[in-house]
Amino acid sequence: MTLNLNDYQQLALRTAGHHGDFERTLMYTTLGLNGEVGETAEMVKKAFYHGHELDRDKLKKELGDVLWYVAVMADALGMSLEEVAQENIDKLARRYPEGFSSERSRNRVE
What CATH number is given to the structural domain containing 72? 1.10.287.1080
Contact (CB, 8 A) for 13 and 71: yes
Domain that residue 82 falls in: 22-102
Tens of pLDDT, residue by residue, the chain (110 residues): 899 999 999 999 999 987 778 999 999 999 999 999 999 999 999 999 999 999 999 999 999 999 999 999 999 999 999 999 999 999 999 999 989 989 888 987 76
Global pTM reads 0.90
pLDDT given for residue 8 in this prediction = 97
Q: Cα(46)–Cα(73) distance, rounded to whole angstroms?
A: 29
pLDDT given for residue 34 in this prediction = 98
Quick check: is 8 in a domain? Answer: no
